[in-house]
Structure 1
Amino acid sequence: MQASATATSRANSVISIGKNYLGTPYQFGAKAGQTNTFDCSSFTQYVFKRVGVNLPRTSKNQAHVGSYVSRSNLRTGDLVFFLNPGKPGVINHVAIYMGNGNLLQTYGAGGVRITNIHSGTWSSRYMTARRVL
């Protein structure tokens, strides 16, 4: 039970820290550790590092850390990975699962935002998820 409570507390911290950056502009290839712009994986890397979890720099590499989680068992703080449209099997995006189908992520105009996994093309592009907390 203690490990679960700790993981839940850390997951809530990840979401809270990430929400501080809502609206921060998206920049592909943003430098690791900077907070004036993020790309999807620099955002997840930065936020998780703040709670003591070191992640690789790219979404493709982040998809190999932690443990596999099925889509039906997603929990707050899980990393969710998405395919590149037109390139089957190629991961090109990562988001943080917030619960209730919501994702904390950054991409394109608007930067860091909360979106629903069932909106737009996210559901059809879903590839896998990993638990790192």
Structure 2
Amino acid sequence: MSQTTITINGNQYDLKVTFKFLAAFGIVKNDFENNIEKMGNIVMGIVGGDPYSLVKALSAMSGKDEATVQADIENADDLDQVFEAVENLLVASPLTKTTVSKIIKPIKDTFDNMDKKMEEAMTDKSLTASSNTPA
């Protein structure tokens, strides 16, 4: 079993991917199609930086209640390493690595494309705004 320990807002979290973690996200026996979709939602939330996905994942991975996790998250100075630790654990855990390895690249590519389009839109908008400015 893969596991890792992180500290958020001074509190230690021992994280591991277990069947209890999977059940917290509605991943159940004999429902492959829905399980893939649900795993995709977990990965998308973590890769995309969704704080609600992070709270749920940390609670399910650590056994701490969501209110405690949410309080730590709200008071944390930086969450980048926390998102990264959860993502890395999903990639490495024997219970999730096969599925995650198949879905993580398309999910990351989607977010990268969104970032590029937003940058292009901002660049286009600033060019339009500067060209409309009277001399």
By percentage of residues, which structure has more strand?
1
By percentage of residues, which structure has more helix?
2
> Which protein shows a greater Rg?
2
Same fold (TM over 0.5): no
TM-score, L = length of structure 2: 0.29
TM-score, L = length of structure 1: 0.29
